[in-house]
Chains A and B, each alone.
Chain A
Amino acid sequence: MMKMNGRMGLLALAVLAIAGCDNGDDGADGNPGPDTPPPAQEVTELNVELREWRIEASGQIFIDFLVTNQDDEGVIGLPSATLLAAQLLPTGFTGAGNSTEWRFLGSETCDTATSCAGEWIDLANGFYRYTTGMTVNDRDDVTYSADATQRIVLKLGGDSLSGSTVTLPVVNESVDFTPNGTEPLYTRELVASAACDSCHTELASIKHGGSYTEMETCVTCHSANRISNPLNVMSGLAHRFHADSELAQFTNCESCHTQEPALANADNWIMNPSQLACGTCHTAIDFPSGQGHPAQADNSNCAACHNPDWTRDAHLMTAQQDALSRFAVDVVSTTLDPATSSLAVVIGVTDPQTGDNYDSPDQLAFLDDLRIYANWGTSFDYSTRSAPSVRPTDVTPDANVGDGQYQYTISGLTIPADTDTDGGAVAVQGRVCVSDSALVDCDATTAQTVAIASSTDFFTAEALGDAMARRTVVNNETCGSCHGDQKLNFHGTRNDLEQQCQLCHNANMAADATAVNQSASSANYSHMVHAIHTGLREGYEDIVYPAPVGDCRQCHIQSTDGDSFALPIANGVPAMAVTETNADGDVISTTFTSITAATCSVCHSSDTAKLHMEQQGALFNVGVSPVGTGLPTESCEVCHGPGRSADVAPSHGLTPAQ
């Protein structure tokens, strides 16, 4: 067989012609080289394109890659790189019933200035070639196979180009391939990094100093032959820690094993149940000894009982969702009577699946609980911390309006003088009894109670509607990025974290004058939520917030008006009251702290921070509520307002609002 390239082919033709023999055609010219980008001089982003990869006969790994910046210009002179490699064992390879498993092949770092494990070639045009010093055969605990799926991960960044003080962003780029030339015959793509980031913001921020940004990287090391504790192999580690976190809705496996967009192996969790993955949550089970489950020596029998559909339905609670879809409650109208401080509320109860109307709530055997709360004063965060309520499951409606609509009266609203033109809020919460996919009589032995999604509506003295709706600061979607959308219930069945909680957790909550951090002791929603998530609230000290805590936008919404956390705080939100009580619970003193200072000082509680606030008009523990008294006014937004020199957003590491 002759092997030649284009130009040499011509010469070969001439020689062979003398022998009078036919000969093969010349080989074609090679393809043109790749487009070469212009050189970058300013680099704030790194984009990596892996162009070629192979395992050399020696077992060394070769990669050819192009690095460009934010403007698609070639990045030249990268000072270092880390390469990691892993081999994927096929399903069942390590035992019947076992899923695919990663095996760590090795990793090495090339620091061009100090020591480079392999051979680094910087073509000085954005293109690089790297041949590792290590080989895929270096480890005793894994046997390399050219037919197996292999993964190479390239980590770049975290350092600076020579002559520059800008720290390059860290990027991880990976490729899965089969060395024998075919596309990977099997893969293990179970969780997208984006799914992690939806709560963690930056996966890399969790561990390892920010070096590893992608799930594809994590699994190469968190593999059975690299990690001594099997519970820290990725499936054990990820399930275990998330189960321990007690965040809501952990049973929804598809929170992480997302189906949209579906990864190649997103259904692996239902196809290949395992003792390790299941046992991390079902901790009462000891599989080998048969505690809590018939004894199982290994994973070979799991799928025989736990077929994929069953497993999925069980964890996603699809039956329960079906049952819940049969009941809906809506506020239809409100009528405020300022003279009696009461609110008439009409609700409608229906079966959305059939459009049928239900009897009044007190007559519904499947309805375990239904309550309606109301409060007044949406512009000043309400007039009372004890929102009055009515419980339709316990009372006969004032009137049956017809079409499944029933009227109730909530009395005892607090409507301060001169606030007639303000607004109010009415919140509905409840709990139904379900069995399998049906709503059932609560007396049934199989009945389980399930909270419905609670809801909050706004009204004015005139009518139901959003004309005087309270501002939206966080919403159920942002809370749901970690907790699941309306899946976190407090006080039984309250799960509208967006507006319902504030009916009681409002400005009328007083902070504890004896607390070291007074603001963190307040149960006003803002102070309380900040304090909980930063581990500063009593009882929540051990919380480990899963994302950079300065990422205000994890919870706060952005709208056309900008960030909901932008200063100043809405005009009308009153100062924080700080009280001291005696042994009988009687308030013996009350002071006030201005609202921005109260909010910021939950976290920024140092003496110098407080002094700074005071010197800029904040008040701590003054004798009267300061609004309108002639006392100094907070001037925070002069420097910390949107677009200002110390804008809250960039001060917390965020990009300024657009």
Chain B
Amino acid sequence: MTHSTHFDVNPQTQDGPMKTFTQHKTWRALLLAGTATLVLAGCPGDGDDGSDGADGSPGEVNVNIDSATSLNAQITAAAISDDGTVTVDFDLTTANGVAVAGLEVEDSVDRIGMGIAKYFDLQKRSRPLAASAFTEDPTLFKGTKADQWTSYINAVVDPGDVNVEDSFPEDWDANAGAQIQAGIETSCGSECVEATGNGSYRYTFSLPLDQYPVIDGLDTSFDANLTHRVTMELRRFRGDVKEALVNTYYDFIPATGAEASADETRELVVLEQACLRCHSNDYDNSAAHPLILHGGARFELQNCTVCHTTYSGDPETGATIDLGSMVHQIHKAEYFMIGFGGNGNDFRELTFPANGNECGVCHLEGDDAPAQATNWYFHRQEACLSCHEKFAPEDWDGTARSLFHDDSFTPYAEGNCAGCHADDTNPDGSAIYHSAQSLAITNAREAYAYELGNGTYDAEAGTLSFTLTWAANTAPETDPNVSAFWVSAAAFDGLEYDLGGTRGDSDGVFGRHKSRIAFDLTTANTADSPVTSIVNESSVTYTVSQIDAELKDLFAQTGQGFLTGKLFVCADSSVVDMDTSTLVPIACDNTETRVTETIVAGNQASFSTDGSDIDLRRVVAMEMGCVNCHAEQADFSAAHVGTRGDEEYPPNSDCGSCHAGTPNTAVALTDGSCVSCHNPGGSAHSNKAFERGFDYKVMIHQIHAGTRSERRTTDLEITYPDTPANCLTCHAEGQLDLATLPAVPAFVADDGEFSPTVAACASCHATSEEANAAAVAHFRQNGGVFAGTVGQYEAEGNSESCATCHAAGRSSGYDVVHGLE
């Protein structure tokens, strides 16, 4: 076998003696010394022989691009000559640095796409709406405007043929019309490439910059002093990103030839930090819905920016394709446009799992934030309209200028121009309003941080007492800023929570949940309240009584568990005259400002007969796994108030003890609080079949895998941005222990009992026997119980043996079969 088709060895370098300029200089110095000696000494006779040359260096090697098994490109330099010719120098290697040869050969690759843009004043899109009445000079007062990218390669695109579907929104083409679209150069390919060394190449753009089409109203003049960006997408063939696709870019200043520093360019959001914490970058796995677009060609955020410019739009719908505006609308499930091939791209049923009004979910700030992370503070038409357009009046003229210069907008009404047009008086621009609520929440949570002490439970007396460490001036029950302080005591036997599978009798004090009680500390010492308090210095001791051991039989029998708190603090979330100092806790009955109620979570404390610590329930998922998509302290109130959960049924009422939005709304999703109801014992009544199982692991798996037969709160199909097969999205390595799982109680659904590992696996693989009979047979053959009789699993000796083959690292380990290794 010969390797000649796979590599080249440069024979000159390999065989030749090593000759370097360093040696040349050394020799010259020695020669001068020698001459001087000759003058003094006359003829010295035979000189010594010169010493031999140094051995040659090893040769250069490379792989041909046809046989490279991975591909990396690094742009090393870019230049724009006086006549506007753009050249890009780059090295092409495999992932581990082997030079890749042959790119200059015709048809060596599927495509080479090169973009070139300048970083300059924002160029505004002509919005194709009703006649634009606002014609006065817009340069009167700009405030801080961040520069934006303008591509040198643009086209005016007319609406094309559309594959209209019934699902299109009404009037989807109301704003159709020609739009400018920025682009990249893909037509030249390897013709524009020359090899300049071993794996080194130069791409020369096909035209000088001034010969690309000039668009009316769009300034594409060249200024060598501006920061420029070249982007490259290089694809050998479709279908394998690791082996065959490169996205890269290079920011530089043509006048100096220098690479642009971080503060000379634009980076607001880092792909890895903001996007990929929820989205998948498993680019070669379509099941993971990886964040790669345009036919599997583009994933690098910096490359997106040269086409998705502020001035670009979609001709068929008139929708913006400005990157920021488009991404905002997509995540708010409000975006529709006509894409490649005349097909609709409909994001209106996207299920964004966090608060879309919370800019900080994506616009992350902090020590490792990019240089322009705060640029979102600064107003610009497309970004602002991405949310506000839908609130525009009927007769709106289509411009941001007219929409926001209206008394309905606080800064305009107050005459505080800097409230949008950021300047020295308010460098935060409109972010001062967009961040007001989150700042009020942060302030409230800081001011009202608290800690629950361990509780002591006396079953005979029916009392539970504990101490609250409380930094505020007055106890919760007398603090006007506190609207409620629900504390839950959930019984936990050391292995699993148990709702009891049935409702308790009505008792009017704690509701019908048999193993958990909830009470509001702010009712302390009032008539009919079971709560009494003694206020100490910086702490309050509470005693809860009337815990009836018969009504709360499961609670009393278990006699231990965990205390969690949910404090509701009121905060002023309204900014007046750009003053943020008012965004602090405020009396809940204040009617003069906007009051936001904030949930403040605390610690998880234990309770037991002697007040000692109870071992935490096993932690089987990462809280950050949830946070990555749902953001911090996600609020699932809405999911719980559907039945009997409204204000008429507080958490201590008959129905509300299970169904209330609070305190059932967990602020931590992995510490077991959710399982205090969603446990294997099944729900207390109206227990559902396995296909919409009540047990937490079953429910969560089914929701995220899209296998749940029905959801109470939505009929949308989840748009989960990863594959549900990627266990590591939520479960850290080592958290899933198939060897200990068989000891967990079996899940009792309406259609029978499901042993614990079967329940976890079947929630994706077999939500019913019909759905996957072979898997169910396999479960049963290996000790699992699927839709068995209640008690069967324990009677058969808890005999799941899944771990033998499916534990992590085993021959068919869950990590192996899910592709996690």
Contact = CB atoms under 8 A, between A and B. Distances in A.
Interface string A535-572: 00000000000000000000000000000000000000
Size category of the B interface is 35 or more
B11 to A, nearest CB: 10
B96 A33 contact: no
A113 to B, nearest CB: 12
Nearest to B13: A33
Nearest to B2: A38
Interface stretch (B57-65, B327-335, B713-721): B57-65
A431 B70 CA distance: 69
Interface string A1-32: 11111111100100110011111111111111
A97 interface: no
B51 interface: yes
A22 B46 contact: yes
A125 B53 contact: no
Interface string B66-103: 01111010000000000000000000011111110000
B331 to A, nearest CB: 31
B545 to A, nearest CB: 44
Contacts of A1: 48
A3 B95 contact: no
Nearest to B38: A19
Interface stretch (B17-25, B268-276, B785-793): B17-25
B340 to A, nearest CB: 30
Interface stretch (B347-355, B410-418, B549-557, B800-808): B800-808
Contacts of A607: 739, 742
A76 B96 contact: yes
A615 B96 contact: no
A32 B50 contact: no
B462 interface: no
A124 B805 CA distance: 42
Given A33-B58, A77-B98, A126-B61, A611 B800 contact: yes
Nearest to A606: B739
A33 B56 CA distance: 4
B802 A608 contact: yes
B366 interface: no
A36 B38 contact: no
A163 B23 contact: no
Interface string B28-48: 001100110010000111111
A610 B93 CA distance: 51
B21 to A, nearest CB: 11
Nearest to B10: A36
Nearest to A10: B50
A27 B3 CA distance: 36
Interface in B176-233: none
Interface string A614-625: 110000000000
A164 B97 contact: no
A608 B801 contact: yes
Contacts of A23: 46-47
A365 to B, nearest CB: 61
Interface in B571-595: none
Nearest to B35: A15
A471 interface: no
Interface in A596-640: 606-612, 614-615
Interface in B768-811: 781-783, 799-805, 807, 811
B30 to A, nearest CB: 6
B780 to A, nearest CB: 10
Nearest to B743: A607
Contact of A612 (B62, B94, B805): B805
Given A39-B61, A41-B94, A611 B801 contact: yes
Q: Looking at A35, A165, A607, which has the most chain B CB atoms within 10 Å of its CB?
A: A607
Interface string A253-279: 000000000000000000000000000
B162 interface: no
Contacts of B15: 32-33
A161 B803 CA distance: 32
Contact of B58 (A6, A28, A125, A610): A125
A21 B44 CA distance: 7
Contacts of B30: 2-4
B792 to A, nearest CB: 15
Contacts of A2: 30-31, 34, 47-48, 50
A77 B93 CA distance: 10
B783 A615 contact: yes
B51 A5 contact: yes
B739 A608 contact: yes
B399 to A, nearest CB: 49
A645 B811 contact: yes
B7 interface: yes
Contacts of B811: 645-646, 651
Contact of B18 (A12, A33, A42, A76): A33
Contacts of A19: 38, 43
B43 to A, nearest CB: 4
A639 to B, nearest CB: 8
B561 to A, nearest CB: 28
A38 B72 CA distance: 19
Nearest to A645: B811
Given A76-B97, A125-B60, A608-B803, A32 B16 contact: yes
B242 A163 contact: yes
B684 to A, nearest CB: 32
A74 interface: yes
A654 interface: no
B50 A3 contact: yes
Interface in B118-173: none
A609 B739 CA distance: 9
Contacts of A8: 23-24, 27, 50
B96 A164 contact: yes
A162 B18 CA distance: 31
Given A39-B62, A163-B96, A28 B52 contact: yes
A1 B37 CA distance: 10
B781 A615 contact: yes
A123 interface: yes
B509 interface: no
A127 interface: yes
Given A6-B17, A125-B60, A606-B739, A612 B50 contact: no
Q: Looking at B47, B50, B68, which has the most chain A CB atoms within 10 Å of its CB?
A: B50
A168 to B, nearest CB: 11
B58 A127 contact: yes
A197 interface: no
A162 B94 CA distance: 9
A432 to B, nearest CB: 52
B643 interface: no
Contacts of B44: 21
List the 5 shortest-distance A-B pairs measured between CB atoms, nearest first.
A163-B95, A77-B96, A33-B56, A30-B53, A27-B50
28 contacts: A4-B27, A6-B17, A6-B50, A12-B31, A16-B38, A21-B38, A26-B50, A30-B18, A33-B13, A33-B15, A38-B3, A38-B9, A38-B61, A39-B94, A41-B94, A77-B95, A77-B97, A124-B60, A125-B61, A162-B95, A163-B72, A606-B739, A608-B738, A608-B739, A608-B803, A611-B782, A611-B801, A614-B801
Given A8-B27, A607-B742, 20 more contacts: A2-B31, A3-B27, A4-B27, A5-B19, A15-B31, A21-B43, A22-B45, A28-B52, A30-B54, A38-B3, A38-B6, A42-B69, A161-B95, A161-B96, A608-B738, A608-B800, A612-B782, A612-B805, A614-B801, A615-B783
